[in-house]
Homo-oligomer: A and B are copies of this chain.
Amino acid sequence: MNDLDFHIGQLVIANRILANEGVVDAYGHVSIRHPHHPGRYLLSWSRSPELVERGDIMEFTLDGNPVNDDGRAPYLERFIHGGIYEARPDVQAVVHAHAEDVLPFSITTTPLRPVIHSGSFMGAHVPVWDIADTFGDQTNLLVRNMAQGCDLARCLGSNHVALMRGHGFAAAAQSLIEVVRMSVYVPRNARALMAALRLGGEVKALSQGEIAARAAGYQPYSVETWRAWEYWAKRAGCGHLLGERPVEDARTSNRA
C-alpha cells in the first residue's frame, strides 16, 4: 500500500469514527491536507460521514475546486477546510461538526475552556465566530465561499478550535488522529463544564502550564494515541482498515 492509499484509508476511518462517536450525524465532514501537494486537500463528496468509503474521497484545491471534476456534488461548506489550510500551513487535518454539546457556548457569552485533561488539546482559548459580524444577518449560516472560509480562519487564528455561532465548530490540528481525538473530547469537556457551572461556585480549569505540558507530550502515533484510534475504529466497524501503527511520525516523514 502506498503512502496516499494509507492516508485515504485513515480518512475513511476518521469519517466513521466521528459518526460512530456522535460528533457528526448526517452533516459534518473531515479532511486532510494532501500529503504530497500542500495546496490541496482530501475530502469526501457530499456524503454523510458514516457512509464514506475510499472511492468517495476527492481532491480539492484550497479554493474549493475539485482537481478532477467528475460531477459529484461537493460539500457546500468545503471552504471551511480551504480557508484554514490556506491560513495555517501547520495544519494537516480539519473537522467541521455540529456536535450538540458545544452549541450552547456558541450562543451565549460563557466561554468554552478546557476543564478536563482530555479537553486540553482545544487550547486555553476557544474563539466564537459569528458569521453575522462580517456577512450580516441575512446569511443561511453556512460557509459557502472562500471569503467566509478565510474569515472563519482569521477568527480561529493560531487556536485549535473555533465555535461557529448557532452552527457548530471547526477544529484544526497537525495530524488526523489529533483532530479526531479533539473532536471527540471537546463535546465531553463542554458537558463537564456545563454540569460544573450548574453546581455553582468557582470551576477549576486547566492551567496554562498543564495545557502546555499535555501539548508538548503529544505524539500522533504514540501507543497511547493509537490505542484510542484502534478502539474507535473497531467500534465503528472499520478495524479492517487500520493497518499497522506507523512507527515514525507521519507529520515529518513520508511512509512510502
A residues lining the B interface (CB < 8 Å): 25-27, 46-48, 50-51, 73, 76, 98, 100-101, 103-105, 107-110, 115-118, 120, 130, 132, 136-142, 165-167, 188, 191-192, 194-207, 209-210, 212-214, 216-217, 223-224, 227-228, 230-232, 234-235
Contacts and interface: CB of A to CB of B under 8 A. Distances in A.
B132 A116 contact: no
A166 B231 contact: no
A75 to B, nearest CB: 8
Nearest to A194: B195
A128 to B, nearest CB: 10
Given A98-B116, A116-B103, A201-B109, A234 B138 contact: no
Contact of A234 (B51, B105, B108, B199): B51
Find the residue from A50, A116, A200 having the highest chain B CB count within 10 A.
Answer: A116
Q: What number of copies of this chain does the assembly contain?
A: 4
Contacts of A201: 108-110
Nearest to A206: B166
Find the residue from A25, A103, A130, A214 having the highest chain B CB count within 10 A.
Answer: A103
Nearest to A223: B73
B166 A142 contact: no
Given A100-B192, A166-B206, A167-B117, A199 B108 contact: yes
Contact of A224 (B46, B50, B130, B205): B46
Given A117-B167, A195-B194, A196-B104, A210 B109 contact: no
A102 to B, nearest CB: 9
A137 to B, nearest CB: 4
21 contacts: A25-B231, A26-B232, A48-B227, A50-B234, A98-B117, A100-B191, A104-B196, A105-B199, A107-B204, A107-B205, A109-B202, A110-B199, A116-B166, A117-B140, A117-B167, A140-B213, A141-B206, A141-B210, A141-B214, A165-B204, A166-B204
B203 A108 contact: yes
Nearest to A50: B231
